[in-house]
Amino acid sequence: MTSLARPPLKELETKARWLALLMLAIGLHVFEASLPSLGPWFKPGLANLVTLIALAMMGTQAAISLSIARILVGSFFIGTLFTPTFIIAMAGGLSATLVMVAAWRCIPGLSLVGISLLGALAHMLAQFVTVEALFIQQSALYYALPPLLILSCISGWINGALAEYICGRLAHEKI
């Protein structure tokens, strides 16, 4: 009956925390899809904010698994699972997460603000590269990229500050 033995409390706590963050991320993913959009390319990236918090609080693996699970389940809820929208979201979300992980590990001195900025830029670039590679093979697509990248800078910076604030508060309250 050892298989029924209760796992250590620490492990359960980690799993519960990861799942709570996943629920939050899925909620934000669905919420963002229902917002009036500034166009099909641009979202505020609130769901990626949760990935960033997971990276800061729980580490690399938790952040990567969280973003994959969030896009899978979130797309299921908004009805885009396995459509082009889903492929683009997955490419963008994964690239953003991997870039943020790399920045977190390799660039000293960056706060979550700078990491979030890089993540937002990676997300936007990956969307366009994916569309050009898989759907519309026209480099003319990239004409639209610079203004959108500037929007990404703004949203990435604000999300990073939010993440910094939230992580600061959570660490302070010893949760």
Partner 1 sequence: MPSLTMQSPPRQNMLDALKGTWPDRLLLLIALISIVGTWFVIQANIAAGPAIAEIYHGGTLLASYPLPQEGEAPITLQVKGDLGLSDIIIDEHGARIASAPCASQHCVLSGPHAHAGDIIACVPNKILITLRGSAESRFDAIVE
Binding residues for partner 1, rule: CB under 8 A, are 37, 39-40, 56, 59-60, 79-80, 83-85, 88, 104-105, 107-114, 117-118, 121, 131, 135-138, 140-147, 149-150, 153, 157-158, 160-162, 164-165, 167-169, 171-172
Closer CB to partner 1, residue 24 or residue 131?
131
Decide if 86 contacts 74 (C-beta within 8 A): no
d(CA 159, CA 69): 20
- Report in angstroms how near the CB of residue 141 gets to partner 1 at its nearest: 6
Amino acid, single-letter form, for residue 57? M
Closer CB to partner 1, residue 67 or residue 152?
152
Decide if 46 contacts 162 (C-beta within 8 A): no
- Report in angstroms how near the CB of residue 19 gets to partner 1 at its nearest: 22
Place of tokens 């390799």: 106
Closer CB to partner 1, residue 59 or residue 77?
59
- Report in angstroms how near the CB of residue 44 gets to partner 1 at its nearest: 15
What are 145's two structure tokens? Answer: 């990229």
* Burial class of residue 60, CB neighbours in 10 A (0-12, 13-18, 19+): middle
Closer CB to partner 1, residue 7 or residue 108?
108
- Report in angstroms how near the CB of residue 104 gets to partner 1 at its nearest: 7
Q: In degrees, to the nearest 5, what angle opens at C-alpha 83 toward C-alphas 80 and 147?
A: 85
- Report in angstroms how near the CB of residue 43 gets to partner 1 at its nearest: 12
Handedness of CA 75, 132, 138, 145 (dihedral sign): positive
Closer CB to partner 1, residue 64 or residue 131?
131
